[in-house]
Amino acid sequence: MTAVVDASRPHVAAGLLTPEAPAWAIESRGYSVFYGARQVLRDVSLRIPRRRITAIMGPSGCGKSTFLRSINRMNDRIPGARWTGALLVEGVDVTGPRVDVTDLRRRVGMVFQRPTPFPFSIFDNVAYGPRMHGLRGSALRDRVEESLRLAGLWEAVKDRLDAPAWALSGGQQQMLCIARALAVRPEILLLDEPTSQIDPGGAARIEEFLGTVAERLTVVIVTHNIQQAARLSHHAAFFLSGELVEAGPTEDLFQSPRDPRTQAYLAGRFG
């Protein structure tokens, strides 16, 4: 991957962004994914706006998580996975063999369905990424505090940063995973059903957090919760059987869906 870097422009980051910010943070063009002989995404063309929350909806097995994982190349870890078409992140096609996947994943953070704290202290969980990239001393401590504050967890843990991460509640563990993703200062944050495994209070805190960061980050959230998508997102996309059925501003999609399959899904008739 080739990128021209201009540090004077805030939308340019070494190794990923092009000098002129494209119109969309993420854009797929006829993108398909196969697991062996099985096709799980079919010719998906979708544009995701910058610094907005986009919700990807659909029933189980519709391909929404596969699409999300494609954005930072997590599908590389699945044996037999392959893809066709183009998937652009900030104007750069990230599907090619020359892409620096480590750099991509630093700029495109991901939070999974089940909380996955590392077997370290609270502090070391958040410090892991910045430390890998050379941050040390007071700068590292400041970054940890900044990330925990942004995730809304600082007040709850500031006096026990050396405690093991597993001692936190499920909701707090998920917030810790969000803080860990934020600590490397990504441009894009991907969340795969981030509230489905935690209590309602923890889910509410995550939704509140997402509402505060939409102006700073491009957020893409996969959710089976239609009400959550309606509450949180600015844009929404509906997937079914590996295909993108329709996408657009959330209000338009919910109030006036163009496709009868979308209308049926939003009405709760399947999924």
> pLDDT tens for residues 211-225?
889 888 999 999 999
The pLDDT score that the predictor gives to residue 228 is: 95
**Between 239 and 211, where is the model more confident?**
239
- Domain annotation covers residue 136: yes
- Domain annotation covers residue 44: no
Does residue 121 register a pLDDT over 80? yes
- Domain annotation covers residue 205: yes
- Domain annotation covers residue 90: no
- Contacts of 78-82 with C-beta under 8 Å, sequence gap 24+, read 78/35, 80/34, 80/35, 80/36, 81/33, 81/34, 81/35, 82/33, 82/34
The pLDDT score that the predictor gives to residue 21 is: 60
- Domain annotation covers residue 247: yes
Q: How many domains does one find in the chain?
A: 1
- Domain annotation covers residue 250: yes
Does residue 3 register a pLDDT over 80? no
- Domain annotation covers residue 12: no
Residue pLDDT, tens place only, 5-31? 222 223 333 334 444 567 799 999 999
Full domain range(s) for residue 199: 50-76+98-266
The pLDDT score that the predictor gives to residue 6 is: 27
The pLDDT score that the predictor gives to residue 194 is: 95
